[in-house]
A and B are shown apart, each in its own frame.
Chain A
Amino acid sequence: MQNINWRLISTHTILIIGVLFMSLPVWVAFATSTHAPETILRNGLQFWPGGHFFETYNEVLFVEGGVMKKVTALAMLKNSLILGVGFAVGKVVISMLAAYAIVYFRFRLAVPLFWVIFMTLLLPLEVRIIPSFQVVSGLGLLDTHTGLIVPLIASATGTFFFRQFFRSVPDELLEAARLDGATPWRFFVDILIPLSKTMIAAILIIMFVVGWNQYLWPLIMTTKEENYTLVIGIKQIYQILAEGGELPQYQKAFALTILATLPPVLVVLVFQNWFVKGLVESEK
């Protein structure tokens, strides 16, 4: 009996250390963001919330010049949402259509086109970042939502996921649908999409987080401040802190990291079960 108890204690100790390791940095970032810059400069990071919560977050979120030169964190939040949602929806729609063609049709170019799609998995955007930039700027798409979102959709992770899922759908469904004289479009809309509902939701959640967290591509794509996303704002505030100044606004930097973290974390926590299912299933 004694033995088992010790084991239980050590298990919980390890888990609690793990939880602290994962959570403490974010807690400290939040606590510090609610203090005055003088306090932070004098006493370092803070472990308990202070009295400047409303002041700091109000200034960062709503006041022009509060955090960047002109753009507010609220405007950046909007841009992040557009990127996250646009990326997720675009990716799901395009990859579902492509996967449907690959799995359910017999056509001559099926194999070569499949390999073209497969190739995109090998070369992340980071590797071809400069020519991608040139192509997008040549098309006049810098500082546009299209130029921001569409190149990110080029990689085929979603297509592979839906291909995998469609292949697990029983063949009898298609046979039955064909006997009833369903057209390919009918079958897709009336049978396949309703069947994929949970999967679509899971992929939307994962892709929203991936889109929201994009860094390098938005960084080189956006030249105007009003197009910054929150994650790009992180970069700018890093720059401002590095340049220094009379009183470094550490609390604003921390507030911005909290704002950039909160929406994707909330999405993951609220839809936890779908999210985990989607993540684990999609990688099989």
Chain B
Amino acid sequence: MKRVQFEHSSIPYLFIAPQILIIFVFFLWPAAQAIYQSFLLEDAFGLSSQFVWFRNYADTVFSDSWLQAAGFTVIFSVLVTFLSIGIALLLAVKANEVIRGASTYKTTLMWAYAIAPPVAGLMGNLMFHPLIGDLYKFLNAIGWDFDHKLNAFDAGFVVVLISVWKQVSVNFIFFLSGLQGIPKSVTEAATLDCKSPTRRFWTIVFPLLAPTTFFLMVINITYAFFETFGIIDTTTRGAPGGATNTLVFKVFQDGFRGADLGGSSAQSVVLMFIVLALTVFQFRFIERKVHY
């Protein structure tokens, strides 16, 4: 906080009012509604509803389809996070090494940041289209009996690939600026002490990038949870048989397409707790192990 501050009784409230007002109307009120509705059971016509305590939670959260979605979300998030961070780190390290063409590489590797996930999804969807998709034909030609409409693994492959593709550029931007922030004197001293570039990377550079990596893990998990909605909605839509449903996609599916308000709200509330737990975990445990 500032040492010096204004002392006015009413003016700060005027400044902060617009934000607080929006939060109350469009954030706190809907969040409270979600919690309230998660305890209600509506009849088939939505005319009356009944207070049913935790029945919606029990019905949805312990159902096979929710557990399946939870399982897929975990595997999906881990794969997307590690692959996109790994690829971005490799590219950033290499882009930081070159002198010739450095800015061209930088630009062409980061611009995909601006592409919306559903746009990436539709592009990918057409690349894997059974009629015209070259990737679909290529995978079948090299002997992989590829069919993402029927095979759960193949569908997962498509969704992970597109999600990783979309996320590499953000990670690349952060890693590159992290690498450029390492003082020249440090890397030069390391070069004198250690001949092997690979060892130098893992013992000197990577630990210095640890805060960036940690931060990116949080960003990527959030991305895999929430922002991939647009990718899934324009590719597999959870098919085949719910195998590529993420938890967020399922909230939308059950609430809007399935008109199961109580169940969908219960899922929302559970998701809120998962996000909350992840946040607490992040601050409590991981952040301490990273040396800034």
Residue ranges of A at the interface with B (Cβ–Cβ < 8 Å): 7-8, 11-12, 14-15, 18-19, 21-23, 25-26, 28-29, 32, 40-41, 44-45, 93-95, 97-98, 100-107, 109-110, 113, 116-117, 119-120, 122-124, 126-132, 134-136, 139, 150-151, 153-156, 159, 167, 171, 174-175, 178, 184-185, 209, 212-213, 215-216, 220, 231, 234-235, 237-238, 248, 250, 253-254, 257, 260-261, 264-265, 267-269, 272, 276, 279-280, 283
Residues of B within 8 A of A220 (CB): 256
Q: Which of B8-58 contact A (CB under 8 A)?
A: 8-9, 11-13, 15-16, 18-20, 22-23, 25-31, 33-34, 37
- Which of B6, B87, B117, B222 contacts A106, CB < 8 Å? B6
- Which of A97, A128, A265 contacts B15, CB < 8 Å? A97
- Interface flag for B255 (CB, 8 Å): yes
- A226-B160 Cα distance, complex, nearest whole Å: 33
* Given A11-B97, A105-B11; A123-B16 close (CB under 8 Å): no
B109 near A19 with CB under 8 A, answer yes
Q: Report the nearest B residue to A22, measured CB to CB.
A: B112
B12 near A127 with CB under 8 A, answer no
* Given A25-B123, A25-B127, A101-B16; A116-B23 close (CB under 8 Å): yes
Residues of A within 8 A of B111 (CB): 22, 265, 268-269
B119 near A283 with CB under 8 A, answer no
A45 near B133 with CB under 8 A, answer yes
- Which of B16, B37, B219, B268 contacts A113, CB < 8 Å? B16
- Which of B12, B98, B116, B219 contacts A15, CB < 8 Å? B98
By CB atoms of chain B within 10 A, which of A106, A107, A131, A159 has the most? A131
B3 near A231 with CB under 8 A, answer no
Return A240 CB to nearest CB of chain B, in Å.
11
Dominant SS among interface residues on chain B: helix
- Interface flag for B63 (CB, 8 Å): no
Return B132 CB to nearest CB of chain A, in Å.
5
Return A185 CB to nearest CB of chain B, in Å.
8
- Which of B94, B173, B275 contacts A122, CB < 8 Å? B275
- A254-B271 Cα distance, complex, nearest whole Å: 35
- Interface flag for B191 (CB, 8 Å): no
B28 near A116 with CB under 8 A, answer yes
* Given A100-B15, A113-B16, A116-B28; A134-B33 close (CB under 8 Å): yes
Q: Report the nearest B residue to A8, measured CB to CB.
A: B98
A106 near B19 with CB under 8 A, answer no
- Which of A11, A124, A156, A231 contacts B118, CB < 8 Å? A231
A126 near B125 with CB under 8 A, answer no
Residues of B within 8 A of A159 (CB): 19
B114 near A253 with CB under 8 A, answer no
A268 near B113 with CB under 8 A, answer yes
Stretch from B64-72, B140-148, B200-208, B227-235 forming part of the interface with A:
B227-235
- Which of B9, B127, B256 contacts A28, CB < 8 Å? B127
How many interface residues does B have (CB within 8 Å)?
93
Residues of A within 8 A of B126 (CB): 29, 32, 45, 250, 253-254
- Interface flag for B156 (CB, 8 Å): no
* Binary contact track B271-292/A, C-beta < 8 Å → 1, others 0: 1100110010000000000000
Return A169 CB to nearest CB of chain B, in Å.
9
B279 near A122 with CB under 8 A, answer yes
* Given A14-B94, A19-B108, A171-B4; A131-B117 close (CB under 8 Å): no
* Given A11-B98, A253-B122; A130-B256 close (CB under 8 Å): yes
A101 near B23 with CB under 8 A, answer no
B123 near A40 with CB under 8 A, answer no
- Interface flag for B59 (CB, 8 Å): no
- Interface flag for B188 (CB, 8 Å): no
Residues of A within 8 A of B34 (CB): 127-128, 130-131
Q: Which of B217-249 contact A (CB under 8 A)?
A: 219, 222, 226, 229-230, 233-234, 248
- Interface flag for B177 (CB, 8 Å): yes
